Amino acid sequence: MNNIVTIIGSGFGGIAAALRAKKKGFDVIIIERNNNIGGKAQLFKDDLFFFDAGPTIITAPYLFEELFNLFGKKLNDYIYFKEIKHLYKFCFFDKTSLKYCNKLTTTQNNIKFISKNDLQNYTKLLFISQNFFDLCFKLFSNKPFTKLYQMLKCMPNFVKVKCYKSYFSLINILMRNHKLKQIFSIYPLLLGGNPYTVSCLYSLILYLELKWGIHFPYGGIGNLIQQLELLMREEGIKIYTGVSVKTIIKNTTKSISVILNNKHYINSNYIISNIEPKHLYKNIINGFKNKLVRKKKLYDLNYSFGLFILFFGVNCFYSNISHHTIFFNNTCTKALKNIFYKQYIKKKNICIYLHHPNKTDHFCKSSTFYALIPVPNLKLFNNWSLYECEAFVQYILTILDSNFLPKFKQHINTCFYITPTFFKERYFSTFGCGFSISPNLNQIAWFRFHNKSEKIKNLYLVGAGTHPGAGIPGVLLSAKIIDKLII
């Protein structure tokens, strides 16, 4: 009988960990409390429309290709990834805009149109971004930081490239034009970070997007999850949905068990958790007493912001709307303060990300959108009453109607929303945040929840709250790290 690995949770990190464990010869079992696998990458459906509810931006597609290649299979035989030419369209409240493209010369010309003086500064920014990519992504993101000395060995390199400086300070020094400052300041938000507090090393995202591009799977992220599920079932991975883990018990040095909510238990050699680390350590693990981790990682960490997501389907097609549009309703500084420092929401300061998959995926049967608005997490703001939500929805629809989608209100067939409260209740997200722990400089690598549990020998962690962090590449890489730790 083979050794058994039990995976708790089935986000991208859990799926990748399951496939990598299966390749090593383990019998793999996935336990998922929701009715479908995918973690936050759920698919919402009604009679006319289907909506991807999770991440929408795929970079580093090779990490998905690796999962299929493990078993001698090809990603393209299951699903096709389409590269998006116009990465983002940035729009401002004065009706001006900038298209940020995968072709560098095109983007440079577009930047030149806004500010000739900043063209050279943009080139400098990309150079800095590439340096951080070479240092951090290649040498830092795929290595475990389970021991303090592993972190200390990296410190000279971090100091050498001045990683201690904030991301916003880098952009503020380089960019002169206030619109370009807005555009390049928001990139840490893609990983749940505050530009004022995260390290400037996260500028590596700029180079990463140009190096590997931004992609979208035909059929949507939901289809990608379905194809990954098909691959897992083909390889004999057992998947149980609608079942939750009540507790974890360590039996011996070589055995560890999960007790389910239906009172059944599964005895395993290893457990890999893909659930919120704070929930795991505080509510699932029986008898966890590591005081250092308990204080610093259960109570003292800063968490990312919350998400208000408005989904709507219309009975017409808007060919002029980009796949990814980001709208600034006010200055970047006011928008960031609205997200990270206020105990209320000032509507006129919101920033809107509009996802329009039909621009890329013409096989979609309907025209769907999702408007994502970063908002304070539930620790700062917890008044998502029906009245508050409906007023917020109407304000968002008005902005979209007046700036992007003229008269679209009369074409809406379906409209609904989710709030940070949904994330807290459905996914056990701490404070209802969208990206788990904020990637501040003092909350990366060794300072995050470790990929190998500090307390229980046979317990491992993947996902946004562990090293290397949030985002699809980050959670897939966390599974790759586990692959090195489990022998």
3-state secondary structure 239-281: EEECCCEEEEEEEECCEEEEEECCCCEEEECEEEECCCHHHHH
DSSP element (H, E) containing 326:
strand 324-328
Cβ within 8 Å of residue 406, ≥6 positions away: none
Question: Residue 35's pLDDT is what?
Answer: 95
Question: Residue 237's pLDDT is what?
Answer: 98
For 151, the token pair is 């972190």
Assign 88 to helix, strand or coil: strand
- Tens of pLDDT along the chain (487 residues) come to 479 999 999 999 999 999 999 999 999 999 999 999 999 999 998 878 889 998 999 999 999 999 999 999 999 999 999 999 999 999 988 889 999 999 999 999 999 999 999 999 999 999 999 999 998 877 788 889 888 888 888 888 888 888 889 999 999 999 999 999 999 999 999 999 999 999 999 999 999 999 999 999 999 999 999 999 999 999 999 999 999 999 998 877 677 889 998 889 899 999 999 999 999 988 998 655 555 455 566 777 899 999 999 999 998 888 889 999 999 877 777 788 889 987 778 888 889 999 999 999 876 656 899 999 999 999 999 989 998 999 999 999 999 988 888 888 888 999 999 999 999 999 999 999 999 999 998 898 888 999 999 878 899 999 999 999 999 999 999 999 999 998 6
Cβ–Cβ under 8 Å, residues 117 and 146: no
d(CA 237, CA 325): 38
For 150, the token pair is 């592993």
* Entry pTM: 0.95
d(CA 24, CA 27): 9
Question: Residue 287's pLDDT is what?
Answer: 58
Phi and psi at residue 36, to the nearest 5°: -135, 150
Cβ–Cβ under 8 Å, residues 28 and 22: yes
Cβ within 8 Å of residue 467, ≥6 positions away: 144, 145, 444, 445, 446, 448, 449, 450, 451, 478, 481
d(CA 86, CA 57): 12
Assign 347 to helix, strand or coil: helix
d(CA 284, CA 288): 9
For 194, the token pair is 């505050």
Question: Residue 55's pLDDT is what?
Answer: 94
Show me where the domains of the chain are located: 4-42+57-82+220-301+445-485, 108-213, 306-375+385-418
Any bridge partners for residue 327, and if so which? 91, 352
Return the amino acid letter for 5. V
For 109, the token pair is 């010309």
Assign 311 to helix, strand or coil: strand
Cβ within 8 Å of residue 353, ≥6 positions away: 324, 325, 326, 327, 371, 372, 373
DSSP element (H, E) containing 185:
helix 178-185
d(CA 34, CA 276): 14
Apex 349 CA angle, 376 and 427, nearest 5: 25
d(CA 259, CA 354): 41
Strands 4-8 and 270-273: parallel
Hunting for tokens 């995202």 — which residue is that? Answer: 205
Burial state string for 175-188 with b = 16 or more CB within 10 A and e = fewer than 16 = beeebbbbbbbbbb
Assign 372 to helix, strand or coil: strand
Cβ within 8 Å of residue 452, ≥6 positions away: 144, 146, 459, 460, 461, 485
Residue 84 DSSP symbol: P
CATH number for the domain whose boundaries are 4-42+57-82+220-301+445-485: 3.50.50.60
Peptide bond into 144 cis (omega under 30): no
For 273, the token pair is 């958790």
Cβ–Cβ under 8 Å, residues 254 and 487: no
Which residue, 45, 89, 48, is CA-closest to 314?
Answer: 48
Apex 78 CA angle, 272 and 365, nearest 5: 110
